[in-house]
Amino acid sequence: MSEELQSILLEDLKITLPGIVLRRIALNRHMPRVEKLSEHVHDFQQILLYLRGEGEQHLDDFVVPVSRGTVLSIPAGRPHRFVKSKAAAPICLAIDFETRNGNDWPDRGNLNRNQLATVESRLFDLNVLQKKKEPSLVAIASRILRILGEIEEALRDESAYLLSGPVYRRVMRVLEQQDLAELSPKSISNELGRSLDHLNRQLGDEVGITVGQALKKMKMERSGKLLRETDASIGEIGSVIGFDDQNYFARWFRKETGQSPTRWREAMRKA
């Protein structure tokens, strides 16, 4: 994330749209208080977008893994708590609003790199605007609405859902305990004693993803951890997760994150 992105707090907004009233938008660069929150509830609906950091949101009986790009919609009155799982301090955008038509927003989505770039650009604009002596309320509202539009689009993408469940946990156990370089969707289904089609259907019904997508997610997490926490070469890291060709790994990583492994490592170590 851009080093220029700074804390934002805009309260008492009262931006009214059909069916909703926006109350508050907040972004904090360092949020130690959210690293491990006790369970709590709000009297308003809340959108949470994670821009850095990893952890879990506990929503009633569900556990939702969160990382960069994860967006959650938490209705008023729903108990939730966050537990940080990585060393980096989380950066989370929170948008609070009231809704007149009940909760018709999906629970979870994930912003792609283009959506994240748009959101971060609008957040930078908001930071500049809020520092002005007499900021334009129209300009502020337009930036917030563009942010909300990107978030709603991600939430409406049902393919992005990822809630924990028994089949998902079994798949993740295989991914965590075995050599990623040797795994494929077929070998994972064999390990669990199911056909790949059957396992994909079960996993899709439960959390909305395929075995291949779960494998890719784990490869991203493992490569990110190695880039962030070790001095292993790009080629060595690619080999660990199953890419013998360093250039192929670099292209894959750039496609998923929008940055080369080298630049991503530099950015994470500066954060």
Which strand (E) or helix (H) includes residue 143?
helix 137-156
In this predicted model, what pLDDT tens digit does every residue of 38-86 receive, in sequence order?
Answer: 778 888 889 999 988 788 888 766 677 788 888 888 888 888 888 877 6
Specify the pLDDT at position 146. Answer: 87
Tell me, yes or no, whether 1 lies in a domain.
no
Same domain, 24 and 130: yes
Mean pLDDT of 225-232: 89
Sign for the CA dihedral angle at 38, 66, 164, 205 comes to positive
Question: 78-100: b or e for each residue (b if 16 or more CB lie within 10 Å)?
Answer: eebebebebeebbbbbbbbbebe
Specify the pLDDT at position 21. Answer: 86
CA 134 to chain centre: 34
Specify the pLDDT at position 162. Answer: 45
What's the total number of domains in the chain? 2
In this predicted model, what pLDDT tens digit does every residue of 146-201 receive, in sequence order?
Answer: 898 888 887 776 444 444 678 888 898 899 889 999 999 999 999 999 999 999 99
Mean pLDDT of 85-96: 79
Sign for the CA dihedral angle at 230, 266, 84, 152 comes to negative
Q: Is 31's pLDDT higher than 50?
A: no
Same domain, 119 and 223: no
Do residues 124 and 2 touch, judged by C-beta distance below 8 A? yes
Same domain, 151 and 174: no
In this predicted model, what pLDDT tens digit does every residue of 107-126 receive, in sequence order?
Answer: 788 887 778 888 888 888 88
Instruction: Give the mean pLDDT of the chain.
Output: 82
Final residue of a structural domain among 142, 158, 174? 158
Tell me, yes or no, whether 3 lies in a domain.
no
Same domain, 74 and 203: no
Same domain, 184 and 153: no
| Token pair in block for residue 70 | 């994860």
Q: Is 26's pLDDT higher than 80?
A: yes
Phi, psi of 78 (to 5 degrees): -90, 120
- Distance between CA atoms of residues 46 and 35, nearest Å: 18
Tell me, yes or no, whether 205 lies in a domain.
yes
Specify the pLDDT at position 132. Answer: 83
Same domain, 153 and 19: yes
Same domain, 32 and 141: yes
DSSP assignment string, 202-265? HHHHHHS--HHHHHHHHHHHHHHHHHHH----HHHHHHHTT--SHHHHHHHHHHHHSS-HHHHH
Q: What is the CATH number of the domain that holds 232?
A: 1.10.10.60
CA triple 75-80-84, angle to 5 deg: 130
Beta bridge partners of 8: 27
Same domain, 189 and 139: no
Band the pLDDT of 262: cuts 50, 70, 90.
very high
List the domain range (segments joined by +) for residue 15.
Answer: 8-158
Final residue of a structural domain among 104, 136, 158? 158
Q: Is 218's pLDDT higher than 50?
A: yes
